[in-house]
Amino acid sequence: MKTLCSMNPLSLPKPTMADTIFVLTREDVIECAREMNIPEEAITDDILAQVKEGVEWGLECWSDVVKEAIDMALKS
């Protein structure tokens, strides 16, 4: 049986803002670029698409992160 945590978050129904826990926007990516001294103009749609793929890959085990956060919150 598949649980919510074992499902790919990209295949789930789109949540409402009230249901959203974590969001990264284009502006967030641009702010990171600024912190790296990279001009906003360098962050093209192609770069954003590549960043999105990289973040999705990096969060592949998102359920482990959520479970750890739950454990930490319950212990505090």
The answer on pLDDT for 41 being more than 90 is yes
Select from 6, 17, 10, 14 the least CA-distant residue to 67. Answer: 6
Share of the chain above pLDDT 90, in %: 53
Q: What is the DSSP string of 61-76?
A: THHHHHHHHHHHHHH-
pLDDT of residue 23: 87
The answer to whether 9 touches 62, Cβ cutoff 8 Å, is: yes
What are the boundaries of each domain within the chain? 23-75
pTM reported for the whole predicted model: 0.64
- For the stretch 42-71, pLDDT in tens is 999 999 999 999 998 888 888 998 899 999
Query: Residue 50: what residue type?
Result: Q
